[in-house]
């Protein structure tokens, strides 16, 4: 990012529809200095002088999903599929997100599948949709639903399956300090929800 601002000038809350004016970069860096001082540090000491800039740069990358439009990512589809109607599955997509409760990392793997009806999308777009939603402040449950919902809306497939398995640093590095715990969430739509055999097939293909 190197100090370049996100594409969005205002913060749009997709859940409430509210648009909030976005503070400028100076205000963001000042907020970091305030936090450093709150925890007993001297923001003016040599080792921390450039930390506010680096912090804001880092979080512009971590939260870059707010500048992405998942619907636009999935807008280019292909209808020439020669009658293919079986599972399209992308396994082991790395997920890097931050929980909305503690702004702590959430790291794991997503598996995304759909059953095409009339059109398909380039497989890289599935990974990009995962990233677009993951690079926001999230709960894992919401993230799973958002990915599945976007694919269902864009492709109108016969079914969508999304499973995420992730470790939460808010559990492993604070609070209960349980380092080996992972959280699994899944959303099944259409055939994957209605046909137990199809759900079982998806789980078998991803090795669960």
Could you give the residue numbers annotated as active site? 99-102, 140, 168, 170
Kindly state the helix (H) or strand (E) to which residue 71 belongs, with its residue range: helix 70-73
Residue 76 in tokens:
């280019």
Residues 6+ apart with CB under 8 A from 49: 43
Cα–Cα distance for residue pair 75/78, rounded to 1 Å: 10
Cα–Cα distance for residue pair 155/53, rounded to 1 Å: 40
Are 93 and 112 contacting, i.e. CB atoms less than 8 angstroms apart? yes
User: What b-and-e string marks burial along 158-196, b requiring 16 or more CB atoms within 10 Å of the CB?
Assistant: bbbbbbbbbbbbbbbeeeeeeeeeeeebbbbbbbbeeee
Question: Cα–chain-centroid distance for residue 102?
Answer: 16
Beta-carbon count within 10 A of 139 CB = 16
């Amino acid at each position: 990012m190197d100090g370049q601002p996100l594409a969005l000038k205002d913060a749009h809350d997709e859940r409430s529809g509210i648009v909030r004016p976005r503070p400028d970069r100076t205000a963001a860096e000042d907020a970091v200095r305030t936090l450093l001082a709150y925890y007993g540090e001297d923001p003016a000491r040599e080792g921390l002088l450039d930390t506010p800039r680096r912090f804001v740069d880092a979080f512009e990358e971590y939260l870059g999903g707010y500048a992405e439009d998942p619907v636009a990512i999935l807008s280019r589809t292909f209808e020439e599929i020669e009658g293919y109607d079986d599972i399209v599955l992308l396994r082991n997509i790395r997920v890097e997100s931050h929980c909305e409760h503690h702004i702590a990392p959430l790291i794991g793997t997503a598996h995304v599948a759909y059953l095409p009806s009339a059109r398909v999308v380039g497989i890289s777009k599935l990974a990009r949709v995962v990233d677009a939603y993951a690079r926001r402040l999230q709960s894992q449950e919401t993230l799973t639903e958002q990915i599945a919902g976007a694919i269902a809306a864009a492709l109108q497939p016969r079914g969508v399956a999304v499973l995420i398995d992730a470790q939460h640093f808010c559990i492993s590095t604070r609070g209960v300090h349980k380092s080996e715990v992972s959280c699994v969430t899944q959303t099944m739509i259409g055939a994957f929800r209605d046909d137990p055999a199809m759900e079982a097939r998806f789980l078998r293909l991803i090795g669960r």
